[in-house]
């Protein structure tokens, strides 16, 4: 009698840190958690983590709790690196930049939202690639690495094993694109409808 082996579920991690912009993290979380909960047969799970685990105070005062720390995360299939004012010290935090470089070695797909991409740039991961970031940080992204092909008008830029998104709400678009990449166009449309995302700006 043979026993069927259940395929291991693939893991998506959303990084949290003090000063993270709320929607940078929660926007992708809404998309990805809806997807993974409503369509578990697609084989993905999503979770949040931080350096130490536990409470994280976001840029505008909201407190989020990361159930996992760097020490106890699973192997990631996808990493989502949000932005926010908390990324500013990370640009010169060699321990954090080394950790980012380590993720490049082990994580198949790195993504970012807003000023998460300048952290990737500071770690040397965007050299020679197209990328974007929050409109107010486009010049800084170029300063960090002039070889980056900065795309100021794109909501997100997919360069294969890295996806960068522009500011804040663009993380929702990027996450829906991620669902499309991992599970197909129809699934992404189902998720978009499920979270009733059909933006028509009132102003």
By annotation, the residues acting in catalysis are 114
> How many other C-beta atoms can be found within 10 angstroms of the C-beta atom of residue 103?
17
SS3 182: helix
Continuous segment of H or E residues that includes residue 46: strand 44-50
Q: Measured in whole angstroms, how far is the alpha carbon of residue 77 from the centre of its chain?
A: 12
Continuous segment of H or E residues that includes residue 193: helix 185-194
Q: How far is CA 148 from CA 15, 40, 81, 139, 177, in A?
A: 23, 37, 18, 11, 22
Q: Are 16 and 49 in contact (CB under 8 A)?
A: yes
Dmax over CA atoms of the chain, in Å, equals: 65
Euclidean distance between CA atoms 197 and 203, whole angstroms: 17
**Lookup: tokens for 88:** 């500013």
> How many other C-beta atoms can be found within 10 angstroms of the C-beta atom of residue 129?
19
SS3 203: coil
Continuous segment of H or E residues that includes residue 149: strand 149-150
């Amino acid at each position: 009698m043979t026993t069927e082996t259940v395929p291991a579920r693939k893991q998506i991690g959303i990084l949290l840190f003090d000063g993270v912009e709320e929607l940078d993290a929660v926007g992708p979380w809404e998309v990805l958690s809806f997807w993974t909960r409503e369509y578990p047969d697609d084989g993905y799970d999503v979770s949040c983590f931080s350096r130490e685990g536990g409470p994280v105070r976001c840029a505008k005062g909201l407190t989020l709790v990361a159930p996992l720390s760097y020490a106890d995360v699973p192997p990631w299939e996808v990493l989502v690196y949000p932005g926010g004012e908390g990324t500013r010290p990370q640009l010169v935090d060699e321990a954090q930049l080394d950790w980012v470089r380590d993720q490049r070695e082990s994580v198949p797909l790195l993504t970012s939202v807003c000023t998460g991409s300048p952290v990737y740039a500071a770690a040397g991961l965007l050299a020679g690639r197209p990328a974007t970031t929050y409109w107010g940080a486009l010049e800084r992204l170029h300063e960090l690495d002039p070889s980056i092909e900065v795309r100021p008008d794109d909501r997100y830029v997919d360069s294969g094993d890295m996806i960068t998104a522009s500011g804040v709400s663009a993380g929702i678009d990027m996450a829906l694109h991620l669902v499309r990449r991992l599970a197909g166009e129809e699934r992404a449309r189902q998720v978009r409808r499920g979270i009733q995302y059909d933006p028509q700006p009132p102003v």
